[in-house]
Amino acid sequence: MENLHHIVVVGGGAGGLELVTRLGNKLGKKRKARITLVDAGLTHVWKPLLHEVASGSLDANANEINYRAHARKHHYEFQLGRMSGLDRKQKTVVIAPFHDEEGKEVVPERHIDYDTLVIAVGSTANDFGTPGAQDHCLFLDSLIQARRFHNLMLNAFLRKNHDAYCGNGHELPITIIGAGATGVELAAELRLASRELPVYGMNHLRAEDVSITVIEAAERILPALPARLSAAATRELEHQNVRVLTGQPVNEIRDDTLVMKDGTELASEMTIWAAGIKAPAFLAELEGLETNRGNQIKVHQTLESTTDPDIFAFGDCAECPQPDSERPVPPRAQAAHQQADVLFKTLRNRLQGGEAVPFVYNDHGSLINFSRYTTVGNLMGNLSGRSMYIEGKVARLFYLSLYRMHQLALHGFLRTSVIWLMDRITRAMHPRLKLH
């Protein structure tokens, strides 16, 4: 094999996959560098869509990207496995053994040499050590977890529908802890799913039998977003018969009960944790990298790690400072998208002996989608710096465009157009709710 500069990207999420796609198309194709992507899964699904997979309003099979097939088309290599260690002196990444569902080793531990390493492993839910969270909550950090939630939800609907048919108690209390974007959007998707039940033969369980509660420890939902957007979201949730509890920290989670800080108990047969995120814990154990309390790797504004000029990190797993701001870049999909673009320029410049490009985050606003009901949000004006509140069909159009932009970065215009057309056909031919 040619002695090419080897760029290894760990993490095939939104930012990581966009980065290796551009590197492969521009550098790998022309044999200017060797590009390798490492990920613990075989396929990619855009993380902001996982709540739709969980509720059944989106078929993940139609929206998955197979890393191996994508790598072949875009001139990079793919290695299946989870990063478990780092040897900075030898410049190697340690990849843990890969096991099948029965626990048998499929691929042994490997060591991958690198010249430049990029870490983009995203984030996981942060339960803040809440008693019972790990044992009794469902999480939506991965496609596997989203599919598990979907199966449990369908089984719960079937069970309660049968109980209603038999004349037994059939109330189904569902609770979402955390009212950020994921929690709010999931609540709307679950309400839609409960209203679709009679269409598919579950005629005995009514939508009002499925109680959905969103709990937020802060004084309002969507606390990181403007107050006007939070108020509009609260009104929409209440209009969809979703109970909203704010200023209510959860102290303990039991099998079918939540215990609030004031001692109040709340029945919950399905509990979803969507309150806060943190970077994967293994990052804090990597040799010689500086991390914060949330396990994020500390980087300079150029996304270069503070301790090693050959290691970069971006996305949710990195703490990136910004000029004239005490707060680092927020862990959002649009930030990862922008960072992937800047980091591509930096890595290209490195091969030519050029300078790194500082990252400056541009907040384009926030959009919250309430399933098929409505969409609300605010768009930031690039010139004025002011935000513009939007809702309804216009906001929905902008919301959908975010995913199409991600697809454009991965597939190009022609293929994305074909995917859009196939999505339209699929929605017309298949049930609105995924039933398996």
Give the tens place of pLDDT for each residue, 267-317.
999 999 999 899 999 999 998 999 999 999 999 999 999 999 999 999 999
- Range list for CATH 3.50.50.60 in the chain: 6-123+279-351, 133-275
pLDDT tens-digit profile of 2-14?
Answer: 689 999 999 999 8
Residue pLDDT, tens place only, 302-355? 999 999 999 999 999 999 999 988 899 999 888 999 999 999 999 999 999 999
Q: What is the pTM of this model?
A: 0.89
* 68 pLDDT above the threshold of 90: yes
CA distances from 130 to 251, 282, 294, 314 (A): 6, 20, 16, 28
Spelled out in words, what is the top-level CATH class assigned to the domain 133-275? Answer: alpha beta
| Distance (Å, whole) CA 192 – CA 429 | 19
241 backbone φψ class: left, alpha, beta (φ>0; ψ -120 to 50): left
Q: Which residues pair with residue 275 across a beta bridge?
A: none
Q: Is the pLDDT of residue 383 over 50?
A: no
Is 6-123+279-351 assigned to CATH 3.40.50.300?
no
